[in-house]
Structures are given as structure tokens and as C-alpha cells.
Structure 1
Amino acid sequence: LHQTAERLYHCVLLVCRFYTPHVHNLGFLRTQAERIDPRLTYVWPRETRRDRARFEKLKDAYVKARYSKHYRITKEELEWLGAQVEELGRVVHEVCSERIEKLKAEALARPDKA
């Protein structure tokens, strides 16, 4: 799930800014992507400590799930995170599709330089 979320955020950054940093920090990538399109902000609720802890659990998975014997995740947390990553994919698809269509329209509107 961590790698999927990471790739989705990289996708938004590449399509919308033509650049993505070479980092795995989901918090940083999320912040950068949410600055581009606010529709991405609602995917990860921040209202309660539990909401924030769930995202932290996903962030921690990159290293701790592989290297720490203390990393634990419940079935409920995993299902919730899976649903949120799925929703992130839907929103990223929407954002990127709109950006690509805008780029196409701009390219067609430009006079041919050849």
C-alpha cells in the first residue's frame, strides 16, 4: 500500500509539474501533491488522532514493516488504508486526466512551429 500511494503521488507531481523528488516520504509527497490540487486533501482525514495515526501507520510501513519486529497492523487498519489508497487512485486519475486534457488543448491551440 505504501508503494502504491507513493507512486500515485509521484504521478500527480510528474503530470502536473513535470518533476518529482526522489523520496519515499509519503508525508512530504502528500503535502506537495495537495498543494497542486486540493481534491487530494480529503482522501486522508486529519480530524481525529485515530485518522492521523492511520496515515502514520502507512508512512511507517515503508521501513518498519520490513525491518522492525514491533510493527503491527490490524485487519481493520489494513482494510481502511486499502480503501483510502483506492480512493487516492481514483482522485489521482481524475486530476491527471484533467491535466493531460488541458495540455492537449493548449498544444492544439498553439500554431505549428514547423
Structure 2
Amino acid sequence: MSPAAPTMDTMLPSTGSALFNIPQLTEDGMKWITYKERILTMIGARGLMHYIDGCTMKPVPYGPDSKMGKMTKPDGTLPMEMEIKDLDKKLNEFLIKDSPVK
């Protein structure tokens, strides 16, 4: 029999791991580096780093047209109902993912 090949553990540590324990910041800032790294680790482990680095932008909501009393696109045209629903869905998805990062 041949010896078993070493296996690599590709699993992320559980959220109970010390890696995910966020130290409380002190007034003198002594734990800032550890705090920062642990926060970034948690955000990255959840696949939300693009909310930190600016790659994900908040969808621009349609604005009200005061003359017609309806929502308008940035180019001034009226959106179709499906476009409004799609934009609402995109805004909700953004806020759901952006909120924990804050």
C-alpha cells in the first residue's frame, strides 16, 4: 500500500474561530491593526470585499418628475413597470449586502 497523500484543508475556519473574534478597540488604539485585519477577514469570508474596495456601486434610483408626477430615468425617459421592479430588486440586494459591511 502506498502512503496516503497529504490533504490540504481548504475550508474556512468556523465563525467561532479565534480568527473571527473581533477585539474591542481601546482609546489608545493599541488593537487597531488586529481589529482592522479581523474585520477585513470577516468581510472577505462572506464574499463582500467588493463593497469595501468600491467595485460595487449603489444602483441609482429613478427620480420623481415634478411635472408628470411619475418616476423618470436619469435620461428623463419614463421607465417601464418591469424596469422599476428590476431596479427595486437591485437596490434591495445592494442594501442587504452593504448593510453588514457598514
Q: Same fold (TM over 0.5)?
A: no
Which has the larger share of helix? 1
Normalising by structure 2, we get a TM-score of 0.29
Q: Larger Cα Rg: Structure 1 or Structure 2? A: 2
Normalising by structure 1, we get a TM-score of 0.27
Higher relative contact order (CA 8 A, sep 6+): 1
